[in-house]
Structure 1
Amino acid sequence: MTDPRLTRLFGVSQRWLLILPLIAGYAWMLGNNLGPISNRISPDPDDTMRLLQVRDLLAGQSWFDVTQYRLNPPLGAPMHWSRVVDLPIAGTILLLRPFLGQAGADLAVQLIIPFMTLAVVMLILAAITRPLLSPTGRLMAVAVAPLTVSALSQMQPMRIDHHGWQMAMGMLMVLAALQFRPRASGILAGAAAAVWLNISVEAIPMTVALGAWWGVSWLINPASHDRLRTYAVALCAVSLLLFVLTRAPSAWAVPVCDAVSSAHLAASGVVALWCAIAVRPGLAPLWKRLAVLAGGGGCALAVMWLLDAQCLRDPFANLDPLVRRYWYVGVKEGLPIWQQAPLVALAILAQPIVGITGAILAWRRDDEARRMAWLTYLALLAASILATFALARAGGLANMLALPGTAFLSLRALGWARAIEQPIPACPPRLVHSQSCYPPMSYRFRSRAGT
């Protein structure tokens, strides 16, 4: 049962249940990072490089030119970084520079952007929990969000690179998948996936996973065609728009694998056209729908193979051995989970494992009205965990996305404990309740202590 006081609180002042954990969590992060902030030390070199890229833009470098001329002078190094991420940073600096000066605005933006990113992610998380959890569960999921590995690593002060925004777009895709209006759901998910892809092609696994999930839904129920069709069309249209707006015409035909290229757009266009024509509500029998899905996927892969086969293989296969040894292998977050230190792998996977356990339990035991929403959530959480095994930094999304399932498991454990009258038998479920939301935190504190 939900405490009626919490129900009233959600009904009258629900926004405070998002704002208070947000402010308290970020204040705690600020207190833990006073040294790096006072010395202006970024958590990662990419954050410093991102700030330099924005400052170069404001100093007159072309919007379409993301070459970093401080590297490999005088030719520079093409960064392939998205201007979408530069926009809020540049806008904040322009707003604050007249009052704080350049140095003050640079420091302020490194504190404001992570807070803004965390606020957006928590807002989306609160919306995701609405069709899944009771008011008490929603409060729990949102309240612990600033304590997750995702927030502590990707939304800490001075962290202005693109990983937080990637997480926000991934969460927005999940939110769209849980919406009841099919066309709005497909359009929102397609737009979010397109923005994420423009930021990083690390979005490809989740983009494909959501399309596959809606493809399976259409196989089972032909009347559910609208989500898949609008998703494919919106993904292609918004991707093309962002490509034109952020990439110089001279670079449109340049083959790249670490950013959206003309080959990716061509494959997306094939899928969008295929879905718009072939994905219909009355298509029967089942084997015809299966043939449509297989044909669309096969054509997309064929187009990618013809235009840029390297992107279907290892995009880093042609790296110089020296570069691979001293750079690529040294970026641990870009390696699979099995190449991480055991404690690091445990910290990345602990919360998702707890979350998917809770999601499975919710799908099997929750109210009938919520079971389909839980099944959709479960499928996308599982996809994010699989992506984490292939790429460790994908665990940021998996950790944040795990919170609704974690909250459900925690509340169920509390209910089990309260139903047990004897104190000793009640200890295990109480332990599950108290610890389920915090599996990464013990590792965090151990790492700070150097143990």
Structure 2
Amino acid sequence: MKPDVLGGFRLDRELDRNWLRWMALFWLCVVAWFLHDRQGNIYWLLLGDTDDNMRLMQVRAWLAGQGWYDLRQYRLDPALGGADIHWSRLVDLPLAGLILAFKPFVGIATAERWACGLAPLLPLSVAMAGLSLAVRRLIAPWAWPVALVVLMGCTSTMSMYAPMRIDHHGWQLAFLALTVAGLADPKRARGGATVGLASAASLTIGLEMLPYCAMAGAIIALRWIWDRADVRRMQVYALTLGGGSAFGFAVFASNANQVLRCDALTPVWLTVMIAAGALLFGLSLLNPANRWVRLALAAAAGAAIVAGFALLFPQCLGRPEQVSDELANTWLNNVREARPIYKHAFKTAFPMAVLPVIGVIGALFATWRARRSEALVGWAAVALFTAFASAMLLWQVRAAPAAQLLAVPGSVALLVVIVPWFLGIREPFARWIGAVPARILGVLIRVFGTVLAFLLLSGLWAGLVVPFFSADKGAKPGKPAAPDKIVAANAACARLSNLRMLNDIPAATIFTHVDLGPRLIVTTHHSAIAGPYHRNGRAILDVHHAFTWPTPNFRPIAKAHGAQYLLICPNMSETTLYRARGPNGFYSQLIKGQVPNWLEPVTLREVRPGTPLPFQLWKIRYDLPDAPAKAAAR
């Protein structure tokens, strides 16, 4: 399949020679559409995820003078010295740069809004470039637009690039796309450098992509085992992985990450990366001619890394978060993204899984087609990488964005074979039905067959069929289902216009739900107790204990954290845990109207007269003795 020549204009040649220019134009169109479509979210600073809110707070603190290596968030649990955030400053740079660029023209508030809207779209350009390079190298120089169109249908992946999604996921996916491009690169040194630097940058941001980085390194080693001529790729990869990780640690590791922690690029993982790079570089210098000797040496190097890790860092053999069993059972194990895909509802799991399956099939098909060409090794590497990413869905559903991203080359490999086949049909069955009917049938097959093939092989059909299998069984004929109270509460209590009403009271420390803490400190001048960040397990447990234990336990816990007010959001997701684990606990008593005498109601202005705010606020009175709780007047 090749694009046609149009009046002497060779489209395939244009897509080859000026691919980067046209890709940039495609990206600008996506940016324009996203900014237009999400302008409401931008205006209302609708940062939907706790991590997005915390990312903005980290950037604000840095721009306000907080140290480069000091990543503590001092507006979470300020009485006890702030919250330890295990991130790095790398992802803060583009967001901070955009804020500083916009600020002189529109002021700080509007600058933050538009920076948060535009920042996620910057790594999208890198991801597009990575996928385009991979497809150009594996399939054809003109095939990259097909990859970009398929990428637009990767709902899980594209959600990480939507305006206001300012946390690190988009950048790590972009580096993953560059890793695929490096694995597919026929120029060995350049390919090794791309994979090594992309892996080092991803690890500098966080360890979420550590399994993919490890798999990419294993694939490079396997390529060398199979063909010793690939030694240059492994040699450069080893140097860039070790050197890039060392640079990332030196420049971006926070003060808190200078110790032997297991959840970030600390001395633990820096040691592993440097050791892995050194061993691979040593193997590249030996480069024995016998394939079995290369296999034995690579296996010995891998065993040495594993054994050394177990001996030197035994504390990291368990969960990298190193949380207590109580914290894991109370909070971390309940994070939905950490559950395997088969534990999610069909309407959630099916659209996530379809394209990765298609991608694996397509990559295997392309590998088989390339069995007698130079592209065999590149396709084999990508097929292995795609299969690994898809299998990760059986571990955690948060692997879906990466699995869909890596499925794109396989999907394109099928599309460039199947779609031209449909387009080539002219007069089917003419011998039996005649020329004119056959010509009409050919047109129908070309049109509808091409559309159907694209929908099937791009995975777009998954979203179209889900509504037929997931109808709301609670709805009665002719009557819509009742709105989801939890979803409504989550949205209402995080709404900027509602939270702004809290600024009517002087700045204070407010005791509230863990998941509401980051949003509270972004939108108001108040401080909170905790956010969903595992290094601050004591604060998280204290919040859960305060809400689930009997009422008399609340005030001592709140006092230890310097809380002056109590804020609750009835029906917010987190509160379902309070009610389940403490049916007679403090929170359950509050929502039943059993309010202790030492909680003094605080009346706030309403955004719209007659429409009550979705949350309730009380001032905590430490000077009053306990007395039997009385039903609150509403």
Checking the alignment, whether the CA contact within 8 Å between 1:53 and 1:68 is kept in structure 2 is yes
User: Does 1:347 pair with 2:375?
Assistant: no
> Which is further off, 330-339 or 194-203?
330-339
In the other structure, the counterpart of 2:191 is: 185
Give 1:4's aligned residue: 4
Contact residue 343 and residue 443 of structure 1 kept, 8 A: no
Residue of structure 1 equivalent to 2:265: 260
1:55 is displaced (CA, Å) by 0.5
The match for 2:19 is 14
Aligned-residue offset at 1:361 = 1.6
- In the alignment, which residue of structure 2 is the partner of 1:222? 228
Using a 3 Å threshold, how does the CA distance of structure 1 residues 27 and 435 change in structure 2: closer, same or farther? farther
Q: Structure 1 residues 45, 251: closer, same or farther in 2, change over 3 A?
A: closer
Report the CA distance between 1:345 and its aligned residue. Answer: 1.9
- Structure 1 residue 124: Cα displacement: 1.8
1:263-412 equivalences under 5 Å are 263-280=268-285, 282-316=287-321, 318-321=323-326, 323-366=327-370, 368-412=373-417
Moved more, 173-182 or 276-285: 276-285
Q: Against the structure 1 CA distance between its residues 331 and 34, is the aligned structure 2 distance closer, same or farther, given a 3 Å change threshold?
A: farther
Q: Provide the secondary structure at the position in 2 that maps to 1:130.
A: helix
Which segments of structure 1 move beyond 6 Å, counting only runs of 4 or more? none
**Distance in 2 between the 1:127 and 1:143 partners?**
15
CA distance 1:232–1:312, change in 2 (3 Å): farther
Q: Name the counterpart of 2:179.
A: 173
- The aligned residue for residue 37 of structure 1 is 42
Deviation per residue, 1:55-84 (Å, 9 max, x gap) = 100101110011112222232111111111
Report the Cα offset of residue 213 of structure 1. 1.3
Q: For residues 381 and 302 of structure 2, what CA distance do their matches in structure 1 show?
A: 21
In the aligned structure 1, how far is the partner of 2:283 from the partner of 2:15?
A: 44
Structure 1 position 419, deviation (Å):
5.1
Q: Structure 1's 19 and 215: CA in aligned 2 closer, same or farther, altered over 3 A?
A: closer
Residue of structure 2 in register with 1:111 after alignment:
117
Partner of 2:504: none
Q: Which residue of structure 1 aligns with residue 588 of structure 2?
A: none
Name the aligned partner's letter for residue 213 of structure 2: T
- Deviation readout 1:201-235 (Å, 9 max, x if unpaired): 12221121122112222222223222223212221
Specify the SS of the correspondent of 1:404.
Answer: helix
Aligned equivalents of 1:135, 1:272: Cα separation in 2: 33
1:105 Cα shift? 0.8
Residue in 2 aligned with 1:240? Answer: 246
Q: Which residues in structure 2 correspond to 1:86-105 (within 5 Å)?
A: 86-105=92-111
State the shift of 1:249 in Å: 6.0
* Identity score, percent: 31
Contact 1:25–1:146 (CA<8 Å) still a contact in 2? no
SS of the residue corresponding to residue 331 of structure 2 reads: helix
How far apart, CA to CA, are the structure 1 residues paired with 2:238 and 2:4?
43
What TM-score, normalized to structure 1? 0.90
CA distance in 1, matches of 2:155, 2:450: 24
Alpha-carbon distance, 1:392 to partner: 2.0
Deviations 1:83-130 (A, max 9, x none): 110111111111211111110110011111122121221122211111
CA RMSD of the aligned region, Å? 2.8
SS in 1 for 2:463: helix
Relative distance call for 1:43 and 1:251 in structure 2 (3 A) is closer
Work out whether 1:439 is the aligned partner of 2:460: yes
User: 1:2, 1:135 within 8 Å by CA — same for their partners in 2?
Assistant: no
Contact 1:266–1:303 (8 Å) recurs in 2: no
Contact 1:138/1:404 (<8 A) preserved: no
SS at match of 2:364: helix
Distance, in Å, in 1 between the alignment partners of 2:458 and 2:103 is 40
TM-score (normalised: structure 2): 0.65
Work out whether 1:416 is the aligned partner of 2:416. Answer: no
Identify which of 194, 212, 219 aligns with 2:200: 194
User: Does the aligned pair in 1 maintain the 2:71–2:254 contact within 8 Å?
Assistant: no
Equivalent residue of 1:279, what SS? helix
Moved more, 58-67 or 364-373: 364-373
**Matched position secondary structure for 1:161:** coil
Match for residue 147 of structure 1 among 153, 158, 161: 153
- Matched to 1:56, the amino acid is A
Give distance in 2, aligned partners of 1:411 and 1:50. 41
Matched, 1:127 2:127: no
Structure 2 unaligned runs (5+)? 6-10, 430-440, 473-634
Structure with bigger RCO (C-alpha 8 Å, 6+ apart): 1
Query: Per the alignment, do residues 395 and 161 of structure 1 end up closer, same or farther by CA in structure 2, a change over 3 Å counting?
Result: same
d(CA) in 2 for partners of 1:112, 1:150: 19
Structure 1 position 312, deviation (Å): 2.5
Alpha-carbon distance in structure 2 between the residues aligned to 1:286 and 1:413 = 38
Q: Which residue of 2 aligns with 1:48?
A: 53
Q: Is the 8 Å Cα contact of residues 356 and 382 (structure 1) preserved in structure 2? A: yes
Matched letter for residue 455 of structure 2:
S
Distance 2:135 2:339 in 1: 31
CA distance, structure 1, for counterparts of residue 252 and residue 409 of structure 2: 35
Residues 230-239 or 48-57, more deviating: 230-239
**Residue 268 of structure 1: how far off its partner (Å):** 2.2
Compared with structure 1, are the counterparts of its residues 19 and 450 closer, same or farther at alpha carbon in structure 2 (3 Å cutoff)? farther
Quote how far apart the aligned CAs of 1:50 are.
Answer: 0.2
CA deviation profile, 1:141-200 (whole Å, cap 9, x unmatched):
113323322443100011110000000111111111222222222222111101101111
Q: Distance in 1 between matches of 2:244 and 2:202?
A: 11
Are 2:225 and 2:294, in contact at CA under 8 Å, matched by a contact in 1? yes
**Shift of residue 299, structure 1, vs aligned partner:** 1.6
Equivalent residue, structure 1, for 2:88: 82
- Change over 3 Å in CA distance of 1:327–1:35 after alignment to 2: farther
The structure richer in helix per residue is 1
**Contact residue 21 and residue 144 of structure 1 kept, 8 A:** no
CA contact (8 A) 1:337 1:392 kept: yes
- Say whether the 8 Å CA contact 1:29–1:152 is kept in structure 2: no
The count of corresponding residues between Structure 1 and Structure 2 is 448
